[in-house]
Structure 1
Amino acid sequence: MEGKLAQRFGYIIIAFTLFWVPMVVTLLMNIISWHETDRFLMELETSAMVLTCVPAAVDPLIYTMVTRQFRSEFSKILSSIRGCPVKLRA
C-alpha cells in the first residue's frame, strides 16, 4: 500500500514539474532578453501558460477516476447500458 502511494505521489510530482517547467523557462527567457520581446517569445509564453493550466482542468477528472467507489458506480452505469463493451476494474 505504501509503495503504491509513493508511486502515485512520484507521478504527481513529475507531472507537476513537467507542466510548470515551460512557464518558468519562458519567464526566465523574458528576464534574460530584456530588450524588445519578439513575437515567437510571446507565442511561446502563451503556449506555456496554457500548458500550465491543463492540470487544473484535468486533475478533478483524474482524481475522481482513481477512487474505487466512483469506478464501481461508473461500472454499474456502463453495465446497465446494453452492448457497452467497457469494463472498469473496481
Structure 2
Amino acid sequence: MNFIIWIVIGGIIGWLASMVMKTDAQQGIFLNMVVGIVGALLGGWLLAPMFGSGTINADDFSALSLLVSFLGAVILLGIVNLIFRGRLR
C-alpha cells in the first residue's frame, strides 16, 4: 500500500513542479510520476540535510518532506531545461 501512495504523491508533486516550471503541456502522467520520484531523490540528497527532514522516498509524509520533495522536482526540471533548451524558463 505504501508503494501506491508513493506513486500517487510522486505524481502530484511532479505535476505541481511541471506547472511551476511551465513544462506541463510537454509531460504526461507517467513523466510527472518520474519527475516527482526522482525529484524527491534529488531533494533528499541536496535539500533534506539543510532542512533536517526526509522525503517521500523515505516514507516520511510530513509537510516539510513534501516541500523538500517538491523543491527537488523543481530543481530537476530546471536542470533538464538547462540541458535540453539552454535556459531555465
Verify same fold: TM over 0.5.
no
Answer with 1 or 2: which has the greater Rg: 1
TM-score by length of 1: 0.31
